[in-house]
């Protein structure tokens, strides 16, 4: 039997720089092994499932246990249909409504938001992408996001 991985998925909501109203959406997952697959883009989150397809491809045949927050897009027909069609590769469950204490991805969101620049247009995406790239080389830091006592089952 292959190794199983737990992923926690969430969307870092659109981050806005106060005086410039610059926005950025980030979709990310965290693994309890310290990996952070992510994608940053302009615009709102939609039911595009390309990100989840990439997760399955990167898992190389290992089953993924995906824990979704209650973002509206996670409950859309295209997402539900895709998850059902891929049930042998990915098993999804949802967190209770508004439960940020159970979601390590909320810690990532808080860190990105705190580091969001308020300078020239374009700095927000640059700073966010830079931070997310640094996390690729910091699995121990990401693993710490799972240290909350309520998260012991996820790790």
Q: What is the pLDDT of residues 48-83, one digit of tens each?
A: 788 888 888 988 888 988 888 888 888 889 989 999
pTM of the model: 0.67
Contact criterion met (CB below 8 Å) for 96 and 102:
yes
Asked whether the predicted pLDDT for residue 3 surpasses 50, the reply is no
Q: Which CATH superfamily is domain 5-151 in?
A: Ribonuclease H-like superfamily/Ribonuclease H (3.30.420.10)
Asked whether the predicted pLDDT for residue 25 surpasses 70, the reply is yes
Name 12's bridge partners.
26
Asked whether the predicted pLDDT for residue 101 surpasses 50, the reply is yes
SS3 73: helix
Measured between alpha carbons, how far is 114 from 108 in angstroms, rounded to an integer? Answer: 10
Measured between alpha carbons, how far is 67 from 29 in angstroms, rounded to an integer? Answer: 9
The pLDDT of residue 87 is 92
Asked whether the predicted pLDDT for residue 18 surpasses 70, the reply is no
Output the average pLDDT for the chain: 76
Contact criterion met (CB below 8 Å) for 40 and 24:
yes
| Segments of the chain assigned E as strands | 5-17, 22-31, 38-41, 64-68, 90-94
């Amino acid at each position: 039997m292959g190794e199983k991985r737990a992923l926690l998925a969430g969307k870092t909501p659109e981050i806005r720089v106060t005086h410039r109203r610059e926005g950025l959406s980030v979709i990310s997952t965290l693994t309890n092994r310290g990996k952070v697959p992510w994608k940053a883009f302009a615009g709102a989150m939609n039911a595009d499932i390309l990100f989840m397809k990439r997760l399955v491809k990167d898992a190389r045949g290992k089953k993924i246990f995906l824990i979704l927050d209650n973002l509206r897009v996670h409950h859309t027909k295209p997402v539900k249909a895709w998850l059902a069609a891929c049930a042998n590769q990915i098993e999804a469950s949802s967190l209770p409504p508004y439960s940020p204490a159970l979601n390590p991805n909320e810690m990532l969101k808080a860190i990105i938001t705190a580091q969001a620049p308020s300078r020239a247009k374009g700095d927000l995406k640059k700073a966010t992408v830079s931070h997310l790239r640094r996390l690729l080389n910091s699995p121990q830091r990401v693993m710490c996001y799972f240290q909350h006592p309520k998260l012991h089952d996820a790790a």
